[in-house]
Each structure stands twice: as structure tokens, then as C-alpha cells.
Structure 1
Amino acid sequence: MLRARTKTISIIGSFAVAGLLLTGCAGGQSKADACNELNKSVESLQDELTSSVSNLSSDPSAASDAIDKLAKSFSESTGKVTNDEVKPAADKANKAITSMADEFGKYADDPTAADPTALSESATDVQTTFSDLATLCN
């Protein structure tokens, strides 16, 4: 009798553990959690970025550093996003901000040799992809 009870408790325990594991897999990352993860990286650097970019012509190196820092932070956050709805938009925004950081880096290295069209297009791409991401997250 004791042996049968132990076996029954063991089987029930196994089902309970399996149920918890399956629940964890099925749930995944919520859309809100994914958006919050991305938002944290942007919020933490927003003031620095605004200040640096507004001084682009007088201190291109600082602007480039600020954008590069934002791009790296956003890339790390994008790597933590697993939500199927948010991940594609986050990856697209990540690609855009990384490209813009590269263009600003070229500008900071030599403002006279920089391609203003590429710089403008990369900034527009960032604006578009981040706007799309904001729409998705709101």
C-alpha cells in the first residue's frame, strides 16, 4: 500500500513538473515585456543622444560616440527579445540604428568626406523603423 501511494505521488509530481515546463514554453515573452526591454535601452541614453546630436557640427565625435553607444545598447536589448511579433521589428530597427551609427562614425572621422545623402537616408530609416516599432508597442 505504501509502495502504491509513493508511486502515485511520484507520477502526479512528474505530471505537475511537466505541466509547469510546458506552461513556461507556451507562454514565452509577452509583447509588453519585449517592448519594455527595448524601451529601457533607449530611455537610458535619450538625453545624452539628444544633446550630442544637436552639437553634431561642433563636436561630431561626441555625437558619433553617443549614437554608437545607443546602437550597442539597443542591439543588446534586441538580443533579449524573443516575442515573435516584436522581434522582426526590433531587428529591423537594430539594423537601421547600427547603419546610422556607422554613417555618423564616417562623418566624425572626416566631415568633409562624409556622404550627406547616406547620412540623411540612415537617419530617415531610423526614424521610420523606430516609429513602426513604437506603433507596434503601443
Structure 2
Amino acid sequence: MKKGFTVTEILITVVVFALLLGFTVPKFFTLVHKAQEGSTKHKLVKVRSAIAAYYGEHQGTYPTDNLTSLVPAYIERIPQATVPGYPPSSHVSTGNFEECFTKTGGWAYVSDPADPRYGDFFVNTDKEDSYGKPWNMH
């Protein structure tokens, strides 16, 4: 009698393996995506904290540059925003709200003192996170 597997046994094994991959691979990518979101949200909080510290030490005024004035006194560096659909970027678009909200990824900062949103810092996209909330509303 020959030892080995029949074609049916091999086929069943391949099908079971494919089904397992079909369930686990998408879950893995979902977890990676959520981890990147969490990291970007944490970075958002860090930069906002640095802006608040600057505001407190400068008689209630926000930076009017692209936040380079925060480095290194308030934050080590401007971190990268990682948002699906865009390459990771630490670029900060500035100006009034309409000028800085270019929806090109990275960060946006309202640096115009005449704008009612002066001092706002947010992710520069109108896409939604995995919970359905627009990134620029965090």
C-alpha cells in the first residue's frame, strides 16, 4: 500500500486553508488600519498640547507660522499624519481656514489671526476615520 495523501484530502486541506486566510487577512489589515488611526489621533493631541503651551507662554497668541516655532521648545518635531489614501506626511498647510484646508493629507493649521478658527490644528482631509467621523473634526 502506498503512503501519501489523496487528491481529495489535499483539496480539502487547501480549501480549509484558503477559508482561514480569507477570514484572518482582512481582520489583520483592519487592525493595522485602526492602529495607524490611533497613532495619528495621539499625534494630533500632542501637537495641540504644544500649541496650547505656546499660547500660554505668549500672552494668548498662537503661532503664525507653520508651527516650526514649536520645535524644539514645545515638541521635538512635527509628527507624521498617517491617513488612508495619502502618504504619511508631517507637512503643515497654513493660512486662513480656506487656504490651509487643502484636503491633501498631512496637517492643517489656521495661522491667520483674522480667521475665527485661528489656532485650530487638524488632519488635512475630509475623509472619515473607521468610525465614520471626518478626520478634520477630531
TM-score scaled to structure 1, two decimals?
0.42
**Which fold has the larger relative contact order, with Cα–Cα distance below 8 Å and residues 6 or more apart in sequence?**
1
More helix by share: 1
More strand by share: 2
TM-score scaled to structure 2, two decimals?
0.42
